[in-house]
Chains A and B, each alone.
Chain A
């Protein structure tokens, strides 16, 4: 029997403030890359916008960020938007979100293989294994592992070791360096897939918000439907950019009050 590819779901967490063509490119590039390894079959993509509790400066309401992401992904046949993380009362650690989606995927898998059991109640031999979940991110995300108190060591271990990362590099960033700079990441380098974005496309949501504040065009950087939504709701103004100014980012506030498990000896 031919070795079947491992089904894979890609999860991207982030502000998506707003979602841009570059975010959607990440999925396309990651899918192509994972397929080219010969080992994986990408079966789904999830955009999981962070909750308002994240406290990042300039973050507009989750309801808007979700709506915009949905509009942007309307025409996609494999990437969807998930609201779970945004609906949680407090900011959720990335690993918690990953565990949630992994559990969901497993339940779904068990349900569907349950429907395809043979007469003895065994799962049909032709059914593929349970889809894996990996975190999809940009190279700048890898650098966040170096920020003091932003990540719990155990969480880095779980994200990189248990789940795995697909990191798409943009512009002049060098993700190999970020991996090398971290003992934990280096140990799991086989589970960290580095994808080179061959197009120097530094469309950042920050720049998009800046352009919108100044009344400049962002057409062809984000989908038309998202531009329309932004104008309809008058999002991204000087005021919106000042939101959460001076507030401590929630992960930092949270980590400060809860010493990481690794400190307990």
Chain B
């Protein structure tokens, strides 16, 4: 297939990464395989964006550690990167804003390297936009940013006050999502039961995880507290880092105990 017809994709994963695990990294690999298998995409970059400390999730350790662990874990990858932007913001940043930020950055980077082909691609884009109609992807010059997550994030759209409806509309409607299914959840059903998500179903790429690999960071932290091994669940470099810095103790798990999660705090504030 002619490479010029492939849409270039950047995958963006947001989350606590507390700590990052092999499962998080698998998500990127699965997503890339899935998208490229359709014959329509070429995944050029993956971005891990750890959430800032202001998120106030229980047990969330300092961003600098979470960033460093993520960096160590992507050492051996030639396409997955870690970006500290979100974690450096003083306040918690809505996911939609994070997606917007990276989308803009992606365009700017593309602009700098792709000035020659603007005419050719602009014409192609007009043709493509006519095909998509209402749910047009934010696609410029065959380049797209997609939000990568597990099915649990998709289902969290239903949690009261966790997400603003217009943010969901933006992430799913304007950008697109790649959702890795976890056993025990039925994301197709969830999409079916939501009129909004149903409307955007073309923008939601469901990736069946052919191997159940549910390394939950919560359970990893529990194991660490109990002095149990987490080797082979996280990259070796991350295991060493955790040991070196004695992260994840009973104390660290009590951080933010009783504190309201930032998005819920924000969305329930009387304006």
The distance from the CB of A44 to the nearest CB of chain B, in whole angstroms, is 16
Segment touching A, from B141-149, B166-174, B229-237: B229-237
A183 contacts the other chain (Cβ, under 8 Å)?
no
Total contacts A to B, CB within 8 angstroms? 64
What are the residues of chain B within 8 A of A211 when measuring CB–CB?
Answer: 210
Which of A31, A200, A203 has the largest number of chain B CB atoms within 10 A? A200
- A-B pairs, 7 with minimum CB distance: A217-B29, A28-B229, A21-B232, A220-B22, A202-B212, A200-B214, A220-B25
Question: Contacts of B215 on A, CB cut-off 8 Å?
Answer: 199, 201
Residues in A whose Cβ lies below 8 Å from that of B236: 75
Q: Evaluate contact between A202 and B211: CB separation under 8 angstroms.
A: yes
A-side interface residues toward B, CB under 8 Å? 21-22, 24-25, 28-29, 31-32, 75, 171, 198-204, 207, 210-211, 216-217, 219-221, 224
Name the B residues within 8 Å of A217 (CB-CB).
29-30, 32-33
Distance (Å) between the CB of B234 and the closest chain A CB?
A: 10
Question: Quick check: B213 and A202 within 8 Å, CB to CB?
Answer: yes
Q: Is the CB of A32 within 8 A of B228?
A: yes
Q: Does B194 interact with chain A (Cβ within 8 Å)?
A: no
Partner of A28, one of B22, B25, B214, B231: B231
Which of B25, B229, B232: most chain A CB closer than 10 A?
B232
Closest to A76 in B: B231
Q: For B213, list chain A residues within 8 Å (CB).
A: 200-203, 221
Is B229's CB under 8 angstroms from A31's CB?
Answer: yes
| A198 near B219: Cβ-Cβ < 8 Å | yes
Would you call A21 and B22 a contact (CB within 8 A)?
Answer: yes
- CB-CB under 8 A from B233, the residues of chain A are 21, 25, 199, 201
Asked if B211 and A29 sit within 8 Å, CB to CB, the answer is no
Q: How many residues of B contact A (CB 8 A)?
A: 27
In the complex the two chains form, what is the Cα distance from A210 to B213 in whole Å? 16
From residue A169, how far is it (CB to closest CB) to chain B in Å? Answer: 14
Alpha-carbon gap, A25 to B231, bound state (A): 7
B5 interface residue, CB < 8 Å from A?
Answer: no
Provide the residues of chain B in CB contact with A200, threshold 8 Å: 183, 212-214
Bound complex: CA of A32 vs CA of B227, how far in Å? 9
Question: In the assembled complex, which residues on chain B have CB atoms less than 8 Å from the CB atom of A29?
Answer: 229
Chain B residues near A201 (CB-CB < 8 A): 212-215, 233
Determine if B29 and A220 form an interchain contact, defined as CB atoms under 8 angstroms apart. Answer: yes
B26 in contact (CB, < 8 A):
yes
Q: Which chain B residues (1-46) contact chain A, with CB distance < 8 Å?
A: 22-23, 25-26, 29-30, 32-33
Enumerate chain B residues within 8 angstroms of A28, measured Cβ to Cβ.
229, 231-232
Give the shortest distance, in Å, between B53 (CB) and chain A (any CB).
27
Asked if residues A203 and B229 are in contact (CB atoms below 8 Å), the reply is: no
A–B Cβ pairs within 8 angstroms, 11 of them: A25-B231, A25-B232, A25-B233, A171-B212, A200-B212, A201-B212, A216-B33, A217-B30, A217-B33, A219-B77, A220-B22
Name the residue in B76, B211, B229, B235 with the highest tally of chain A Cβ atoms < 10 Å from its Cβ: B211
Give A216 to B210 CA distance when docked, in angstroms.
Answer: 11
Q: A221 is contacted by which of B211, B219, B228, B231 (Cβ under 8 Å)?
A: B211
Give the residues in chain B near A204, CB-CB below 8 Å.
211
The answer to whether A24 touches B231 (Cβ under 8 A) is yes
Distance, CA A73 to CA B214, complexed state (A): 23
Which of A29, A204, A211, A216 has the most B CB atoms < 10 Å from its CB? Answer: A216
- CB neighbours of B199 from chain A (8 A): none
Let me know if B138 is at the binding interface, CB within 8 A.
no
Min CB distance, A121 to chain B, in Å? 41
A224 touches B76 (CB 8 A): yes
Contacts A202-B213, A220-B25 aside, 14 further interface pairs with beta carbons under 8 A come to A21-B232, A25-B231, A75-B236, A171-B212, A199-B214, A199-B216, A199-B219, A200-B183, A200-B214, A201-B215, A202-B212, A204-B211, A221-B22, A221-B213
A224 to B22, CA, bound (A): 12
In the complex, A58 Cα to B22 Cα: how many Å? 27
Task: Name B229's closest neighbour in chain A (CB-CB).
Answer: A28
Given contacts A199-B216, A201-B212, A202-B213, contact A219 B29 (CB under 8 A): yes
Give the docked Cα–Cα distance between A29 and B76 (Å).
26
Q: When the two chains form their complex, are residues B26 and A220 in contact, meaning their CB atoms are under 8 A apart?
A: yes
Closest to B29 in A: A217
Nearest-neighbour CB distance to chain A for B226, whole angstroms, equals: 9
CB 8 Å contact bits of B179-198 with A (1 = contact, 0 = none): 00001000000000000000
Least distance between A131 CB and chain B CB atoms (Å): 20
